[in-house]
Amino acid sequence: MQATSLHDSQLQLFANLNGHSKKVSTCTFSTDGQWLASAGIDKKVLIWSVATKELKCTIDGPEGHTLQVNNARFCSDDRLILGTTSYDQTVRIWDLAPLAQGTSLTAKSISALKGHHAAVSAMDFCPMIGSNRCVSCDFDGELRVWNFMTGECERVINKMVCVCWNLFMLCMSKGLWGIRPIGLIMTIFPVREAYILARARSVSPPESQHYRRGLGQVDLCR
């Protein structure tokens, strides 16, 4: 995706990262800003060093996704744990610490979270330091809360939002999970309580310091 004219006057191109063979659908930075993960239609997850602009690892093959990867997210602490979701109906969790420490040439698979019956559109990690919880959402509006270390699904919440919305963004703040479809519905619920609060709200995309585009290329701006 090209930066708009509004951003052109404010951002400068930092790097063109070429490695994907097909369209890039998602990219995300690690909390420390040293690592970038990108993924897309070619079913691959590429791990880049931001400092050197080099491709450090390609996640594919038997342990990788079997269909298009559409979302990637790093955990919010310093563990360098990455989550990815795919049309293959799975969430996969990866440990990049051995790669960062130089003790391995690839990411370590922690778990493959299986249980969704539709393409998984998004996932996010609990923001509490050291938490092993994550949440995922699929195109049918089903939400699943997982312990990603054990692979156990701790909760399933069905039809959280109208099924006509099939693109979702997940966000978390102070113990609350939120589902933000690209539209007007915001659904929020506490992790440990049963009630659900839903309200109408206009959603604007957040400002971003990275942009993704087609043709297998990621443009980094700053």
| Mean confidence (pLDDT) of the chain | 76
Give residue-wise pLDDT tens across range 40-61: 999 999 999 999 999 999 999 8
Identify which has the larger pLDDT, 132 or 210.
132
User: Above 80 in pLDDT, residue 182?
Assistant: no
Q: How far apart are CA 155 and CA 170, in angstroms?
A: 16
CB distance 84 to 58 below 8 Å: no
Residue 142: band (very low, low, confident or very high) from pLDDT cuts 50, 70, 90: confident
Q: What is the mean pLDDT of residues 81-90?
A: 97
Q: How far apart are CA 205 and CA 179, in angstroms?
A: 13
Give the residue carrying structure tokens 């709200």: 201
For residue 9, how many C-alpha atoms fall within 13 Å in the half-sphere facing its CB?
A: 2
How is the chain split into domains, by residue range?
5-221
Identify which has the larger pLDDT, 109 or 9.
109
The highest-level CATH class for domain 5-221 is mainly beta
Which one-letter amino acid corresponds to residue 180? R
Share of the chain above pLDDT 70, in %: 67
